[in-house]
Amino acid sequence: MTSEEHPAPPSPQEAGGEPLETPPEAPSQEGGRRPGGDPEMHPDESGGFGEDSTEGDVDTAASDELTLAQTALAERTLDLQRLQAEFLNYKRRVDRDRELVRQNAIFAVLSELLPVLDDIDRAREHGELEGGFKAVADSLERNVNGLGLTKYGAKGDEFDPNLHEALMHGHSSDVTTTTVDVVAHAGYRIGDRVLRAAKVTVLDPE
């Protein structure tokens, strides 16, 4: 008896069905890589993957550098302020010394001119200050006054031992305090500095 041949079963495509999907291959564990070729990340001791730790180190380094820069800036600022204060003190000291030298020079020159001014006063008292001599005398007095020289001392002034030199004392019932009677030589001063005390006779109360 001849055996019957049985036809092969039709494939799903020939039967008109959908093709069967091939199951995905399991990812290979070789080399610790995930699909796509990226290395597999392992958590660190803190549970993260190391990125936060690296960023924190960068922030700390930047903060330290900023602190150092601020400290250096503060030190340089203090140095500049100290130098500025020293310069201002030096400038004031130089200006003060320069002014003192100027005043001393004026003081010395005017001291030498006092006898000339006394002669002019005597000539004026005797009516001898006339003509060209009067013009010269007036010019000299204007110039010394321009340098700050002030003349003082007159009959009736209250006696001040800081401003007057008493040559002789008298007594009078007309005065209630020690008073200048006669001015022998006028006094001169520059500001509050006495160049020469006025030489006077005084009257004391009886």
What is the SS3 assignment for 30? Answer: helix
- Judge whether residue 30 has pLDDT over 70: no
CA nearest neighbour of 112 among 146, 152, 140, 142 = 140
Mean residue pLDDT of the chain comes to 81
CA 122/CA 127 separation, integer angstroms:
9
pLDDT band, very low/low/confident/very high, at 24 (cuts 50, 70, 90): low
Spell out the domain ranges in the chain.
56-147, 149-206
pTM of the model: 0.57
Rounded CA-CA distance 190/114 in Å is 13
Q: What pLDDT does residue 7 have?
A: 52
Please report, as a single letter, which amino acid is at residue 102. R
CA distance 181 to 175: 10
Taking domain 149-206, whether its CATH number is 2.30.22.10 is answered by yes
Residue with tokens 């500049």: 80
Return the amino acid letter for 203. L
